[in-house]
Structure 1
Amino acid sequence: MDAEELAVEPLLAARRLLGATLWSGPVGMRIVEVEAYGGDPAGPWHDPAAHSGRGRTPRNAVMFGPPGVLYVYFSYGMHTCVNVTTGPDGIASAVLIRAGEIIAGQDEARARRPAARTDAALAKGPGNVGSALGISLSDYGIHLFDPKSPIRLELGPEITDPTAISAGPRVGVSLAADRPWRLWLTDSPAVSAYRRSPRAPHPA
């Protein structure tokens, strides 16, 4: 039933994922920053910035599947980025996990992220999320709500305080750059910095 809570439009699913805990073996991370992404023109949430924005491919196929599945991809040839599929089965959408606070397994996370100067920096930024949790491309397609999965997602209580969540434009995308689909926990020190893509047109 937890996965069904993510079978909603991308922005609602992104809000639901804030405060959730993502477990990879003994390392647990509280999700504090996310970005929502929609799908192809045939779906209800066309998003030209999404990997699924032009339709299904072998790389993005899992985005069209049921909610609560791990979508992993390699970014800039060096970072493993972690996403959770959302929306009803057959309609593409996903949420990128941009940052988190390591709440368990800190020693293992530090060993994977020796360059991090503080605990707040261990999983600050999407590439660091994958590194701190030890997630690789081989984890693509894992069902996150299966109790037998090596990587699991536990939803927390819904956040109802409107001041607890902030919103703004997505980071580094050149298309639909001003869509306010990046959400973060307002008071978390682990939230990453905003960087606008130089290829994005200037806002009106």
Structure 2
Amino acid sequence: MLSFDQEIATLARALIGTRLLVRGVGGTVLETEAYGRNDPASHSFRGPTTRNAAMFGPPGSVYVYLSYGCHLCLNVVGREGEAVLIRAMRPEVGLVRMRERRNREGLLLSGPGRTGQALGVSLADNGKRFGDAEFVLEPCKDAVRLLVGPRIGITRAADLPWRFGLAGAPGLSRAFPVQGPTEQTDATGDFIPR
């Protein structure tokens, strides 16, 4: 069982390889980014607002925000004021519906804006919970090898190595550094010491 109440970078790692479905549409999580409570790049850095209220809800809450005025981005809330951005997924369930929403065949879930659009998330989803009928998150059953790198698309604390990806997976939002580190986890998302 996946625990949402854990250190945010650990939660971001544990989400890689899970199966995420929004109202019956989705697939395997391939790429995530962590945002902590005391992180100057986080929406929660200056405290609760109307926009980020879902980040201060219980662990396992849904946080959706509007990026650049046009892209809805899906996040998994961890501890208070912390969330994991879902950056990319492997499309597996509901392909026809995702193609209709994206009005295209390819790049359905590669990038947080595309992912939000293909999954059909809305601002009305804020505060809903993973584990209910609409937002299903199934734990990864296999060990995974993770890519680790700095977060992208931000200007503050961009050097933190809080972006994680499934090694060897096509469909990541952007390539990881060529010589970037990798980590190994077991089927529960726990680290396997080297």
Query: TM-score normalized by structure 2?
Result: 0.85
In structure 2, the residue matched to 1:43 is none
Give, in whole Å, the separation in 1 of the partners of 2:57 and 2:24: 27
Which of 66, 71, 83 is equivalent to 1:94?
83
2:114 pairs, out of 128, 152, 163, with 128
Find the counterpart in structure 2 of residue 38 from structure 1: 36
Alignment of 1:9-88 (within 5 A): 9-39=7-37, 46-87=38-79
> Are 1:69 and 1:144, in contact at CA under 8 Å, matched by a contact in 2?
yes
Q: Deviations over 1:49-74 (max 9, x none)?
A: 00001111121122122111100011
The AA in structure 1 aligned to 2:67 is S
Per-residue Cα deviation, 1:32-58 (whole angstroms, up to 9, x for no partner)? 00000001xxxxxx1000000111112
* 1:83-162 alignment, distance < 5 Å: 83-87=75-79, 91-116=80-105, 118=106, 121-146=107-132, 149-157=133-141, 159=143, 161=144
Distance apart, 1:158 and its partner CA: 6.3
User: Do the aligned residues in 2 keep the contact of 1:6 with 1:16 (CA within 8 Å)?
Assistant: no
Q: Specify the alignment match of 2:155 in structure 1.
A: 174
Assess if the C-alpha contact under 8 Å between 1:171 and 1:194 holds in 2.
Answer: no
Runs (5+) with no aligned partner, structure 1:
40-45, 196-204
2:62·2:74 contact (CA, 8 Å) conserved in 1? yes
Deviation at 1:106, TM superposition (A): 0.8
Partner of residue 6, structure 1: 4
**TM value normalised by structure 1:** 0.81
How far is 1:105 from its partner?
0.9
SS in 2 for 1:166: strand
Matched pairs, number? 176
Rounded to whole Å, the distance in 1 between the matches of 2:74 and 2:170 is 20
**Which structure shows the higher strand fraction?**
2
Q: Deviations over 1:73-95 (max 9, x none)?
A: 111111000000012xxx32100
SS in 2 for 1:193: coil
1:194 to partner: Cα distance = 5.5
Q: C-alpha separation between the residues in 2 aligned to 1:99 and 1:70?
A: 16
Q: CA RMSD in A?
A: 1.6
Could you say what secondary structure the match of 2:99 adopts?
helix
**In structure 2, what is the Cα distance between the partners aligned to 1:74 and 1:21?**
23
Q: Detail structure 1 runs of 4+ shifted over 3 Å in the superposition.
A: none
Give the secondary-structure state (helix, strand or coil) at the position aligned to 1:63. Answer: helix
Aligned-partner residue type, residue 106 of structure 1: L
